Structure formats: C-alpha cells, structure tokens
Amino acid sequence: MTYRAGIVGTGGIAGMGILGMHDEEEIGVKRVEASHAGGYAATGGIELVAVADVDERKLERFGEQWGIPEDRRYVGHEAMLDAEDLDVFSVCTPSYLHRDHVVDAARSPADPSLIWCEKPIASSVTAAHEMIEACEENEAELVVNHSFRFTEKLQHLRELIEREELLGEVHSVSTQFRMELLRNSTHLLDTLVYLLDARAETVSGYVTGENEAVESLGADVSVDDAGGGGFVVTDDGTFVTVDCTVPRNDSSMLTNLVGSEGKLYMNNDDGEWRYWSLEDGEHVERPLPGIEGAWTWEEDYEGAFANAASHLVDVLDGAAENGSTGREATRSLEIIVGFYLSHYTGGRVTVPLERPLRDVEITSW
C-alpha cells in the first residue's frame, strides 16, 4: 500500500532548502532532499500528492520542482483539507501556525491517520496540548519532526545509555548551540529528552533579546524568539546547562554528559564524539560500542528525513510505535517557555507548567 501525503507550507523544510545547510543560491529555487518532500520521495511507501500555501509564487515554484499537478496546488490549507483524502499531513509552516494547522487537519474531511509536524511543536504549551488532544480525539498520530531522533547514531547511543552500560547514572549535562531558543535549542533539549530518562523539574533562564533570523531569513515579521539559555534541574537531580546565545557563524553544537560510569563529549558541527569509561577512579578513553565515527550534518542529518518517512510508514502499518510524540515534544517546549518566564520574572519556574503559564506564547518562525 502507498499512503497519500499533503504538505502545508512550501518553504525550506518542506523541500526548498534550509539556510546554513544548503547552497544559498539554490534555497527557495531548487528542490532539496533533506526535507519533508525529500523524505517522501526517498520511501516507496508514501506519495506526495498535494501541497498548500498562502503565497502563490512559492506554491507554484514548489509544485514545479516536486511535480505536483496544478490542480493539487491549493491556496490555503483549508482548501486542500476539504478536497483531498490524505493518510499523512505535513505541517511545514512557522511554529506560531502549527496549532491551527494540526488541529484543522485532525478535524478535517481529509481525515489523515498521521500528522508530521515540524519542530518546535508550538509557540505555547496550551497550543501543544490542544494539538495533542485534537489528534487523540480524531485518532490521528502526531509525530513531531525532531529530526535528530531519526538518525541511526543517536538511536544507538540512546540504547547504550538506557542499558546503563555507557554512562551509568547521569549527574551533569552541559550543552551549547546557536541562537535562537525556539528555532534552534529545541534540537538540544529534545535530544536530552530523548537520551535521558528524566523530566525537567526546575528551570532558570536568561534571554539576550538577539535574533539572527531577521537578517538571515529576510523576515519581515517581528517575533519573540531570541538567544538565551539557563539551567535545568531534572526530577532525578541531573543538573543541565543550556547556552544558545552564540551567533550562527561562531557556534558548534556541543553536548557533554558526565555519569557515574563514564563521560561523553559530542560535537555535531565538527564531527567529533569521544567517550571515556570510568575505570578504578580514572577516565579511560574508549571507542563508542557499535558506533563508527561521529554524528555529522552532512551524513546523519541529510538522511534523517528519509529515515523519518520510513518510520511514518511503519507507524501507519502498525509495525512501530511513534518515536517522536507530541507529549515528548512538549517537554522540551516547556523548558524553553520556562527560560523566558524565568528571565522576565526574575525567579525560578517549576515544570510542568500550570495555567495560566501554559498560555504564554513565544513566537518564532
């Protein structure tokens, strides 16, 4: 069986290139495989049959590049959801639109069985809960595209950590990535949610107010998202520091984990993973069991979308459980919102957030 998919949003992550990952001259002009459309094209189990956008110029360009017939290029997602019978619905729009697009799809005549939503899940925790509830009520699986989860190296690393063979009990984590918090640090935080069996309990944050996306994306809309970070204490006592204040050109995606049985250094920009086992009170550098080389953007990230699309097929076939749920995505969103709340109130924030703090919206692209 081949499942039918539709996409709302015809920007970079949908299939036209992402700044910093692809040739700038080709972004928005040529199709790029590291994308939702590219993921569908890479698997024989899903066919992209329709696309929607409010920008008719971008819609036409996307349709031409990805071979979508003119009568299946819809101006606005409502028109597509009313006209099409879809198995899968991709949400590739700015994060402040995710809530409406996911909820509308779940309740629509298109009746998708699965919704593949870009990260971060939403701009507010309330919106994320509404998305999850709408999908559950209409029996639509919500898969959030935290793409690192769909890379084989990270999946294997999680298995090593879960079995407590690698680090033992994790005590401390320090992370660093480029600004901004919602746009970028969601990758860092979801990676920690994915790797560690712990939940945030206390959050303290700092926001710089700086945002590079205005210039780099040519954006004409002002948003809240900015550089920042802070610390998180989890329910098992793990202390986590997050620094997403660094400009894109200066940054490396770094994570250090220290545990009772060893420590791990991960640099995803420079392609360096190093592991030390704690043996008789001394750290001894060892190869990572079962992992050849380090995670890289060129190899692992580029393949994440094809892996994700294959996973969607498995979920639809009933052969796999959802590996990136809306509830897990909300855990990293709550930390980011907590950073903002802490910065502007001057105090620590307890997670999970209660009303009315769930309603605080942090807009981004």
Residues 6+ positions from 57 with CB-CB distance below 8 Å: none
Q: Is the dihedral of CA 319, 118, 50, 37 positive or negative?
A: negative
Q: Is the dihedral of CA 65, 66, 69, 70 positive or negative?
A: negative
**Token pair of 186 as six digits:** 């969601």
Say if residue 289 is preceded by a cis peptide, omega within 30 of 0. no
At 355 the pLDDT is: 87
> CATH classification of 3-147+302-317 is 3.40.50.720, yes or no?
yes
Contact 131, 142 (CB under 8 A): yes
- Domain assignments of the chain as residue spans, ordered by start: 3-147+302-317, 149-295
* Residue from 219, 248, 189 nearest 365 by CA: 219
Q: How far apart are CA 44 and CA 141, in angstroms?
A: 20
Residues forming a β-bridge with 203:
232, 349
The residue type found at 190 is D
Q: Looking at domain 149-295, which CATH architecture does it have?
A: 2-Layer Sandwich (3.30)
Number of Cβ within 10 Å of residue 161's Cβ equals 20
Contact 195, 174 (CB under 8 A): no
At 19 the pLDDT is: 52
One digit per residue, the tens of pLDDT, for the chain of length 365 reads 899 999 999 988 999 866 555 555 555 556 788 899 999 999 989 999 999 999 999 999 999 999 999 999 999 999 999 999 999 999 999 999 999 999 999 999 999 999 999 999 999 999 999 999 999 999 999 999 999 999 999 999 999 998 878 999 999 999 999 989 998 889 999 999 999 988 999 999 999 999 887 666 666 677 899 999 999 999 999 999 999 999 988 888 999 999 999 999 999 988 899 999 999 999 999 999 999 888 888 888 889 999 999 999 999 999 999 999 999 999 999 999 999 999 999 999 999 999 899 999 998 87
At 167 the pLDDT is: 96
Q: How far apart are CA 22 and CA 125, in angstroms?
A: 32
Which strands form 73-75's sheet, in the order they lie side by side? 73-75, 46-53, 3-8, 88-91, 114-118, 141-145
